Amino acid sequence: MRPRATATAVAAAALLLPLLGAAPSPARPAGAAPAPDRLQRAFAAAAAEYHVPRSVLLGVSYLQSRWDTHGGAPSVTGGYGPMHLTDARTALARASSHHDEGAEDPRGDDARPAPRPEPRPAEPAAVPARLSTLPRAAELTGLSPEALRTDPAANVAGGAALLADAQRRLGGPASTDPADWYGAVARFSGADDTATAAAYADDVYAVIRAGERRTTDGGQRVTLPASPEVAPERDLLARTGLRSAEAAGTECPPTVSCEWVPAPYEEFGNGDYGNHDRADRPASQPVRYIVVHDTEGTWDGVLNLVQDPTYVSWNYSLRSTDGHIAQHVKTKDVAWHAGNWYVNAGSVGLEHEGFLTDPDAWYTEAMYRSSARLVKYLAKKYGIPLDRQHILGHDNVPGPTASAVPGMHTDPGPYWDWAHYFRLLGRPFHPTAGKHADVVTIRPDYASNRPVYTGCASAGVPCPAHGSGEVRLYSDHDEKAPLIRDTGLGTTPGTGVNDLSSRVSTGQQFAVADRWGEWTAIWYLGQKAWFRDPPERPAAVPAKGRLVTPRDGLASAPVYGRAYPEAAAYPAGVPVQSVSPLPYRLPAGQAYVVGDEVPGEYYYAVTYDEESHRVVRGRDRYYEIQYGHRVAFVRAADVETVG
């Protein structure tokens, strides 16, 4: 293929732009919605103009954005439109971490002084190719950067031009056979190593073989017919000239790209140390949970932070553009990430490049898929159930003590698509019981469920309308009724994007308390909480579940943020940790879904010297329950199970 002249590209663009441009065509009045097949036709036109197989163009775009346009807003890495064309000026503007914010102690152990990480600027770095595909697309097409950002048809044309350019540079033919484009697809990922590029390309071809069909966020119906016969020429990867990835020492499945970027275990100043604790899991204690975070920062800045011994840590980071994974802490060791030492001691933490308060700074399909593969691998390795009582968001982790409750973090927030994530995990949230079951699984339709949130840009200002996996709770079966109040927060509940007082999340399970017309009530934070659940657009599905309620004779049972042993279990030399209840109760007559039964357990690790570390395990047993938006624990001796 020869480079196309600018004049030719501009002429081609003139044919494409009317498909989805701002100016209305004569066939439809101004202000009317575009025809629902216009994006599909844009893919066809761009594929024909740049001699790229249509299935390859559609497959790449699906992995980038699932064909959504996000209203022209940039992704977390400064990517725009269905092809996720990137502009580094946006992506490099934000480089902090969510551990820099709020009052939460990421370690979550009051037996050791809390690490208080200071915000640290990212070191200047050269702009990687993966963050500058939009300027290159502008050169190839002759289209303006503004058109490539805002006009979906132009954006698709830019993506097609980039694929065609990659194919030409690799010496490949302008073939109509999708199998011949494996190398170009690998290069399109922007990855700088063969493992990441191959993992990305393999996912694109998996989409091509399986086919996809969906209605986008702009109301466009897009279809990629299944082509199960396509067998890509993977040998073409050798032509890309990419470096070999360093995967030594990592704990990742072979279906993802992974590198070892270690978090330092170092001693500094006055015997202090960071930024994690050595352990011997699962021999010493089980790994029960996987905690999903978002970074609130971009890739390079976050990786700089986790390599700072005075900072905090997590086990893995996942990159948005291509799903690449960096492992920082061995899964046998304990990272400081969740804000609750009991959860940290029994969990693995995954940070996903993203921003909670940017609804349209979307998580790419590449990252969702890579994360799901990693979670399935870890779940199998450690016997972790694939449910929402064990695959937690950081926003589901309870405060370990009453004073810690208000400062706990709220990521990944209402825009993380748990329903899609669990479909990728192979555990979709289907009904598991009859219509009038005593338990429900929260499962709104993500795309059409658009509760109003405020505070994304500034306090009180509505966030952009966007799909959400969360459902709002009211004190009565009326949207004018007061919102459910979280007594532990001590604030008036509202619609703030970080206010978890009155929200339930996809996949969480609750006991049904009542029903009224198209409303369902659940037991939540010790209260009867109502949500709209119309039959034509249900917000939940019936489910089976094991429930707990206070044992006979108790008016209520205390609720805890950690499952610590009784005082008699502590050996000499290990200070007794208080079993202090949270400012909540489980009242008689109410029931809550059990996620797990666990022993009282405490990992004593407050010094750099591992010889002093101990795992204390008591006789007391606890049930982990879905109590509010966050999970909690109740002593087995205080409750009885039903169902």
Helix or strand holding residue 370 (H, E): helix 365-382
**For the chain, what is the largest distance between any 2 Cα atoms, rounded to a whole number of angstroms?**
84
Stretch 293-307: mean pLDDT: 91
> Confidence band (pLDDT; 50, 70, 90) for 96?
low
Q: State yes or no: pLDDT of 21 exceeds 90.
A: no
**Hey, what CATH class is 252-402 in?**
alpha beta
> Confidence band (pLDDT; 50, 70, 90) for 116?
low
Q: Which two tokens stand for residue 181?
A: 């484009």
How far is residue 353's CA from residue 362's CA, in Å, rounded to a whole number? 10
Q: What percent of the chain has pLDDT over 90?
A: 79
**Hey, what CATH class is 16-91+125-240 in?**
mainly alpha
pLDDT single digits (tens) 398-440: 999 999 999 999 999 999 999 999 999 999 999 999 999 999 9
Of the candidates 185, 192, 188, 161, the residue with the CA atom closest to the CA atom of residue 234: 185
Q: Which two tokens stand for residue 45?
A: 């036109």
Specify the range with the lowest mean pLDDT, choosing from 197-211, 269-283, 353-367, 563-577: 353-367
Q: What is the location of CATH 1.10.530 in the chain?
A: 16-91+125-240
How far is residue 331's CA from residue 282's CA, in Å, rounded to a whole number? 9
Q: Which two tokens stand for residue 476?
A: 């009565």
Q: State yes or no: pLDDT of 118 exceeds 90.
A: no
Q: Which two tokens stand for residue 306?
A: 């986790």
Q: Which two tokens stand for residue 55?
A: 């299935």
Confidence at residue 13, expressed as pLDDT on a 0 to 100 scale: 42
pLDDT single digits (tens) 167-214: 999 999 989 999 999 999 999 999 889 999 999 999 999 999 999 999
Q: Which two tokens stand for residue 373?
A: 């593969």
Instruction: Round the average pLDDT of the chain to a whole number and report it.
Output: 91
Q: Count the Cβ atoms, other than its own, within 10 Å of residue 508.
A: 31
Stretch 31-55: mean pLDDT: 91
pLDDT single digits (tens) 611-629: 999 999 999 999 999 999 9
Q: What is the location of CATH 3.40.80.10 in the chain?
A: 252-402
Residues found in the chain = 643
Stretch 270-291: mean pLDDT: 94
Pairing of strands 289-294, 391-393: parallel
